[in-house]
Amino acid sequence: MDSEKIKEGVRLILSGIGEDINREGLLDTPERIARMYEELAAGYQDSAAEHLSKRFHVEDNDMVLEKDIHFYSFCEHHMLPFYGTAAVAYIPDGEVVGLSKIARTVEVFAKRFQLQERLAAQVADAFMKELHPKGVMVLIEAEHMCMTMRGIKKPGAKTVTVITRGAFAQDERLQNRFFQMLGR
């Protein structure tokens, strides 16, 4: 990450909206924003493959579901946050990953400028590529600040996306079981 470019960009934005970039309260803002982006956009330096590489052998190949995975991301169109929860289910094919690795995989892709639809697909595709399960299903429900703060201004409106791969794409019973396990 190039923190000098980020700091210069923040100075340009502040100046562009008519602020005095030498005002006391703004003097350290470019540095703070650069540090913030190092944290909030850390997904560009992270790898889902690394998180999904540690596996455990299992005899039972029943569905594994982790739900209520809270995440924060940025809309790539407006550079405003969107945030919500993800649910990830997969059907192992002899191997599982540690439960924290499921949430870490969501974080890898959430900590990037994103579209919600792409975020769900990237999580599902990472599981299919790295773990080779029989199937994956990802549901993301999020509130987008670009709809809350600007434009249509509809606080509380949530967007829900669902992605299916493998067995989940082919079997409606598996999809229904997924939704039942979510309590929907």
Q: Which of 19, 66, 141, 146 is catalytic?
A: 146
Nearest to 126 by CA among 175, 76, 94, 163: 163
Angle at which helices 3-16 and 29-40 pack, to 10 degrees? 120
Active site residue 75: yes
Q: Which of 75, 114, 122, 175 is catalytic?
A: 75
Q: Which of 114, 122, 130, 144 is catalytic?
A: 144
For residues 72 and 83, is the Cβ–Cβ distance under 8 A? yes
Active site residue 78: yes
Distance separating alpha carbons of residues 79 and 96, to the nearest angstrom: 35
Q: Which of 78, 95, 141, 143 is catalytic?
A: 78
Active site residue 146: yes
Active site residue 132: no
Q: Which of 77, 117, 170, 172 is catalytic?
A: 77
Q: Which of 31, 38, 76, 117 is catalytic?
A: 76
Active site residue 95: no
Distance separating alpha carbons of residues 164 and 138, to the nearest angstrom: 7
The set of catalytic residues is: 75-78, 116, 144, 146
